[in-house]
Each structure stands twice: as structure tokens, then as C-alpha cells.
Amino acid sequence: MSTHTLDKDLDDLGDLAASARAALVREIETSGAFDSDPAWKEAFAAIPRHLFVPYYYIGVLGGYERCWGESPDPRARERWLRGAYADAPLATRLRDGELVSSSSQPSLMAMMLAELRVAEGNRVLEIGAGTGYNAALLSYRLGDDLVTTVDLYPEITEAARQHLTAAGYRPAVVTGDGARGVPERAPFDRIIATCTLTSVPRAWLTQCRPGGRILAPLATGLIALTVRDAGHAEGHFLHTPAYFVPLRGEGRPEPEPASLGGVPRRARDHELFRFLLALTRGSLDPQEAYALWEREGMPQRERYGLTVGGEHEWAWLDDPEGPYVWALPD
């Protein structure tokens, strides 16, 4: 390929990136994700997502195919760039065929950032650095000094740091167990997790200021907790489903899947019923869960909540003092 042809190809990709980013922002806006905090629209319009996903994987028959921004094939590069600005999650790191890191769906990211309810001067901890894209959005809004992102794997944090630098941002990128937080950077006003929890790490409460907000995926939903003090937090789930890579570290086991024998198929296959089972983590057997689910009219996620107190957690329906409260296993 001649130098002239290469330069033109790069110019064309630059034009495509700008138009694709603008189209993505319009798509996110149409989803309503910016409605509660329109300031995030400017952040998504400013941050080039393709800098954070120099390659990613798409599922194909029998495994994954790698899309790469430096492919010698111009059609492959264009396909990579268009995919980078799709409103879709992108698998970015595999280990032994298992997904260990990804770039989340942008409209879901926008909704979560809006629900974080940041204010000027807030210090934010992100659990799960991923590609660094979310940390860049936070840094654009709040400033580098107020943003910390942590991940367990050095190769992930190093790549995130490189992507952030390429985009012009330098938040604190820490390699460590996200379940332990980042005490040397505390206290935080907001904590956001981009990985699924089995329970809320108590270290997050001790590192969050009273009145702070924790937003995290849990039981295929998103829990929004208000921190009362170092030992107590409480809040409701948001309405949307959410599926993320699990939080790793601290020997955190995945719960055993429940046996659904005796439960009608329409419940077994219903994602709200499966959410209830995942939330209660064995505190309800499937038949009890089904009876409640039917009696209460297939409750939406936002009717459920979580209370964290001391070393224990309680899930509840509608009211933490109401009739449906379940102590969760430690």
C-alpha cells in the first residue's frame, strides 16, 4: 500500500469514527439514558470509544473471531471501527476461552452513570477497569484527580492506562482486588461496579462517605444503595436487567444454580423469576419463590431492595420492614 493510499485510508477512518460516534450518541439519547442527567451526552460525544477497543472478539460458530484496528485489510478495519461504535457490549479479553473483560453496552453505561448521580467535586471509585472507557467518561465529567479505577489483573490495568493516556486522561488506575476497594484513595462519594457481585463488599461501605451512593450489578439487576455509615447501606434495584463479568478475587464463589423441578415452565423461563431466585440465593426454595412471584403479580425488579447491615444482608420486596424479607447467606 502506498503512503498516499494509507494516509487517505486513515483520513476516511477518522471521518467514519466521527460520524459513527455521533450516531451512537443519538442512539443512546433515543434510549432515554441521558434523560435524568443530560451532561453525560457531552462526555459520550467527546470520548472516542475506538481508542479503548483496539481489538475485540465477536462470537462465531465454534468460538470467537478477533476484530483488529490494525488489520492489513481496509475492509476489516472499517468493520472493526463500525463495531466499536455499535450500541453493544464488546468482548475484549479472553482467558482459556472464558470472557474476563469487556466493554459494556454504551447505552447501559450511560444509564448507570446517570443513576450514579454525581455532582461536581465528587470522588468516584470504579470497580472493574475494563478498557478504561468508563473511567475516561468519569474523568471528562469530574476531572482525573477525582476518579479511581481498580482491576485484579495487571494486564487489564496496564492496557486501560495506555488507552486512557492515548485519549488524554490520567485517572488513578490501580491493580488490586476490587472487593477490598482502594483505601489509600478513600473516602469516596460514589462507587460504581462494572462486574457482577454475589454480595456487597463491606470495605466499600467503610470507604464511602455517609450519604454516598453505591451502584452495582447483583443478581442480574442493578442495586443502588445509599450509605448511612460504615456499617449500613440500603436501596432499591433499578428497573433494568444487567449481565456483567463476575467480580473476581477474595475467593468469591458463584452460587450453586437452583434446581427448578416442579416449577411451571413459564416461570422457569421468565427472567424476573430467575432474578428472584438469584437475589434470594437459596433463602427461598423454588416452589416458595414461585408462589410468591405469582401472588405478587410477577414483581418488577424495582420493587425489590437490599439492606446491608454489619456482616449481614437482607433482600426484601417493597418494604425493608414488610412481610417479605429474606436474610441472605454470608
Q: What is the Rg, in whole angstroms, of the alpha carbon atoms belonging to the chain?
A: 21
CA distance 19 to 10: 14
302 and 156 in one domain?
no
214 and 281 in one domain?
no
CA angle at 73 for the pair 69 and 15, rounded to the nearest 5°: 55
Query: 71, 101, 103, 107: which is the annotated catalytic residue?
Result: 101
CA distance 77 to 134: 23
> What pLDDT is recorded for position 265?
87
CA angle at 66 for the pair 4 and 45, rounded to the nearest 5°: 65
215 and 103 in one domain?
yes
Give me the domain span that covers residue 321: 265-327
| Residue 22 φ/ψ, nearest 5 degrees | -60, -40
> What pLDDT is recorded for position 194?
94
> What pLDDT is recorded for position 259?
59
Per-residue pLDDT of the chain (330 residues; tens, 9 = 90+): 433 333 345 456 888 999 999 999 999 999 999 999 999 999 999 999 999 999 999 877 777 889 999 999 999 999 999 999 999 999 998 887 777 788 999 999 999 999 999 999 999 999 999 999 999 999 999 999 999 999 999 999 999 999 999 999 999 999 999 999 999 999 999 999 999 999 999 999 999 999 999 999 999 999 999 999 999 999 999 999 999 988 876 555 555 555 566 788 888 889 999 999 999 988 998 999 999 999 999 999 999 999 999 889 999 999 999 999 999 987
181 and 93 in one domain?
yes
160 and 20 in one domain?
yes
Going by the DSSP 8-state scheme, the letter that residue 325 receives in this structure is E
Number of domains into which the chain is organized: 2
168 inside domain: yes
Q: What is the DSSP string of 32-99?
A: TTTTT-THHHHHHHHS-GGGG-SEEEEEETTEEEEEETT-S-HHHHHHHHHHHTSSS-EEEEEETTEE
200 and 155 in one domain?
yes
244 inside domain: no
**What CATH number corresponds to the domain at position 22?**
3.40.50.150
250 inside domain: no
271 and 192 in one domain?
no
The answer to whether residue 19 is catalytic is no
C-alpha cell at position 55 = 481489538
CB neighbours (10 Å) of residue 197?
Answer: 20
259 inside domain: no
257 inside domain: no
CB neighbours (10 Å) of residue 43?
Answer: 19
> What pLDDT is recorded for position 96?
75
155 and 46 in one domain?
yes
